[in-house]
């Protein structure tokens, strides 16, 4: 699990094709690798990936073809990526509970400087739009954000200067695709409300009259 609070912006130093997927090496400056070991999880642009190799401040992960089909931003060598280590039970939950399992890819519709912050408008895939609510949480490229307004499949958010300075969201522009993860609570509520109940068989026992 993650919180959506980005710890560092790293960059992909190597992207090698491997059996249809990719093997990525990612360099970091301030993530802190002293407590990371082989098998640990790190969210890269919102995608939970397993560390298979560590070399100083560079770690290596494998990305399956299925993951590449469902996400964006992991294919480009030299590209910048948001990084977050998995939560520990003693950590503060500064954002919201994030699984690192991307639900779909959205598209930036608008990204404007409005003075004290930037207004970001994203169009979500139709099947995800119903899970995004005003004042609810959503994860964009691994960053925990609060939704300001929803209109159909489009929703808007405000990004403060600190968020732009500490993440790759300052690279966004109209037409760019982004990884989206909906709120866990919304996902499970939908599942419970729409589950198919197994009909129960009712057996009546009628005794013979005396």
Q: What is the pLDDT of residues 108-127, one digit of tens each?
A: 999 999 999 999 999 999 99
How many residues are there in the chain?
210
Domain residue limits, the chain: 8-85, 104-193
Phi, psi of 39 (to 5 degrees): 100, -10
Q: Are strands 47-55 and 41-44 parallel, antiparallel or unpaired?
A: antiparallel
pLDDT digits (tens, 9 = 90+) for 10-47: 999 999 999 889 999 999 999 999 999 999 999 999 99
In b/e form, how buried is each residue of 141-170, taking b as 16+ CB within 10 angstroms?
bbbbbebeebeebbbbbebeeebeebbbbe
pLDDT of residue 189: 84
Asked if pLDDT for residue 207 goes beyond 60, the answer is: no
Where does 45-175 show beta strands of DSSP type E? 47-55, 58-63, 80-85, 104-113, 118-123, 137-140, 143-146, 149-151, 154-159
- Cα-Cα-Cα-Cα dihedral of 61, 54, 14, 176, to 10°? 50
Kindly report the number of other CB atoms within 10 A of residue 178's CB atom.
26
CATH of 104-193, one of 2.40.30.20, 3.40.50.300, 3.30.420.80, 3.90.600.10: 2.40.30.20
DSSP-based three-state secondary structure for 75: coil
H-run or E-run covering 181: strand 177-182
CATH of domain 8-85: 2.40.30.20
One fold for 8-85 and 104-193: yes
Taking Cα atoms as reference points, which of 26, 145, 5 lies closest to residue 85? Answer: 5
pTM for this predicted structure: 0.89
- Helical spans, DSSP H, in 20-174: 65-70, 126-129, 161-166
Under 8 Å between Cβ of 44 and 82: yes
pLDDT of residue 184: 87
Compute the half-sphere exposure of residue 166: CA atoms within 13 Å on the CB side of its CA: 17
């Amino acid at each position: 699990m993650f919180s959506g609070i980005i710890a560092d912006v790293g960059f992909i130093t190597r992207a090698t094709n491997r059996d249809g997927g990719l093997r990525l090496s990612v360099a970091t400056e301030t993530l802190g690798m002293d407590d990371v070991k082989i098998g640990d999880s790190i969210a890269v642009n919102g995608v939970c990936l397993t560390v298979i190799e560590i070399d100083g401040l560079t770690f290596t992960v494998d990305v399956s073809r299925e993951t590449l089909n469902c996400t964006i931003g992991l294919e480009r060598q030299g590209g910048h990526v948001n990084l977050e280590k998995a939560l520990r039970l003693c950590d503060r939950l500064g954002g919201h509970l994030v699984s690192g399992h991307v639900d779909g890819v959205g598209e930036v519709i608008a990204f404007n400087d409005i003075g004290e912050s930037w207004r970001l408008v994203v169009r979500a895939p139709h099947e995800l739009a119903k899970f995004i609510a005003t004042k609810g949480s959503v994860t964009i490229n691994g960053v925990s954000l609060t939704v300001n307004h929803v209109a159909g499949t489009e929703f808007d958010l405000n990004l403060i200067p600190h968020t732009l300075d500490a993440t790759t969201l300052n690279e966004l522009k109209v037409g760019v695709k982004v990884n989206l993860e909906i709120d866990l609570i919304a996902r499970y509520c939908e599942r419970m409300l729409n589950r198919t109940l197994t009909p129960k068989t009712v057996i009546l026992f009628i005794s013979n009259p005396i």
